[in-house]
Structure 1
């Protein structure tokens, strides 16, 4: 889902701390094991070391979520920023796959699912992620590739 805001609109939002936005930025739940696996997937497939990962629970993560109209206290999705535009839900995942290249571009097949169904599917997984996948501490993962990308 494209979050309808002008490109780089967060730069004019005084509630958002300054951050380096060159390259893609993923705002992810730092307590979710599924998100931690997602961060590892991104880190190990990002050949150019372009991606930055922002924990949802950080000041920056909360501010970005709020800017895009998402509730940081009850996140049912994650936020992906690229070229100053925000994306959420499975659309964000599709765009990450496209950016990572190679076989990950096949995630575009998810576009065959109608948008409303994609959103329902994603929300269902997001609401149950702790129960199905458990918890983790993204910021304390021993994975050096993830640690290089974290913006806390």
Structure 2
């Protein structure tokens, strides 16, 4: 399934413009080259999505074999990006239900606000090594 040397894998909605922009941002800011990516629409993404709650459709973060979703995933990604993004980790102290309510609102409206593609974006040649199919 996932190679043992992959410690941090982000699964994302490959047809979502907002999600793709977020992935491109993470790649740009990932100075430690620690993150790998796969779309939820990929074979790897589908193996995970079937094991998660049915409303998980926008982000999954596998961090050291721990599966994180929604706002918790986003906050841990920010934390792992380092300073200044790790400062967002302060929001982990809010109840998960509150954080996920905000997250769900954005996720529910992401196609309307940011649009979507007909198919998953193909990564550039320089970023291709960051993606797992």
The TM tier, using the shorter chain, reads: 0.7 to 0.9
Alignment of 1:35-46 (within 5 A): 35-46=19-30
Are positions 1:59 and 2:43 aligned together? yes
Tell me which of 89, 107, 125 is aligned to 2:88.
107
Give the secondary-structure state (helix, strand or coil) at the position aligned to 1:37. helix
CA RMSD of aligned residues (A): 1.9
Gaps (5+ residues) in structure 1? 1-17
In the TM superposition, 1:118-129 aligns within 5 A as 118-129=99-110
TM-score relative to the length of structure 2 = 0.87
Distance of aligned partners of 1:116 and 1:78 in 2 relative to their CA distance in 1, 3 Å threshold: same
Please list the CA deviations of residues 96-119 of structure 1 after superposition, one character each: whole Å capped at 9, or x if unmatched.
111111101011132243321111
1:139 to 2:127 alignment: no
- 1:80 touches 1:86 (CA, 8 Å); kept in 2? yes
How many equivalent residue pairs?
Answer: 131
Q: 128-137 vs 93-102, which deviates more?
A: 128-137
> Unaligned stretches of 5+ in structure 2?
none
TM-score by length of 1: 0.77
